[in-house]
Amino acid sequence: MLKVGLTGGIGAGKSEVSRLFVSHGAVLIDADRIAREVVEPGTPGLAAVVAEFGPGILTAEGTLDRPRLGSIVFNDPDRLAALNAIVHPLVGARSAELEGLAGPGDVVVHDVPLLAENGLAPLYDLVVVVDAAPETQLDRLVRLRGMTESEARARMAAQATRAQRRAVADLIVDNDGPLEDLEPQVLRIWAELRERAGESR
């Protein structure tokens, strides 16, 4: 089994790259999706978050009010650390469980948005970074996701720099161009990952 960490800045196109990997046969473990699952109603994760932050972070339906929680932790490193101390171990345990279901020759792609920020590169056999220029990211966030420019810039500033992400990369997908330029690059990288997965058996 080959364990691959996939990351990229917001708006770089990481989701599209992970979709292409899956279409070629990768086993995808999506950290963001798991982070949502571990705090669904009725989970120990949600109970722990409520115990830490109070019932005000719940909606009327009893689900996690993400915007409200985000407003508490976004500019407060201590509160963010408290949230991460609850959620990260749960995400890690669920990721390990899903990884355990993969076969010996599989390529397991861990889609981890904050891989560089959290120093997680050593957990993987290799790291693939989806890279785009900041102006490309900004354009996509405003044009495709409907963010204001100041909102987009704040989200980008809260992440690792482009240089920090590239520093942890074993392989880089350049996603500054149109979508049709992406697939040939992903195919080349996929061929290399398959080869390495075969060697690791």
Q: What is the structure's pLDDT at 57?
A: 95
* Token couple for 164: 């920090």
- In this structure, the answer to whether residues 113 and 99 fall within a common structural domain is no
- In this structure, the answer to whether residues 111 and 98 fall within a common structural domain is no
Domain span at 61: 31-104
Q: What is the structure's pLDDT at 201?
A: 60
What is the spatial order of strands in the sheet that 27-30 belongs to?
27-30, 107-111, 2-8, 126-131, 171-174
**pLDDT 10s digits, 16-69:** 999 999 999 999 999 999 999 999 999 999 999 999 999 999 999 999 999 899
Q: Pairing relation of β-strands 107-111 and 171-174?
A: unpaired
Asked, for residue 175, whether it belongs to a domain, the answer is yes
- In this structure, the answer to whether residues 183 and 116 fall within a common structural domain is yes
Q: Which residues pair with 30 in a beta bridge?
A: 111
Report the mean per-residue pLDDT for the chain: 94
Please tell me the pTM assigned to this model: 0.86
* Token couple for 122: 């050593």
- In this structure, the answer to whether residues 19 and 86 fall within a common structural domain is no
- In this structure, the answer to whether residues 22 and 35 fall within a common structural domain is no
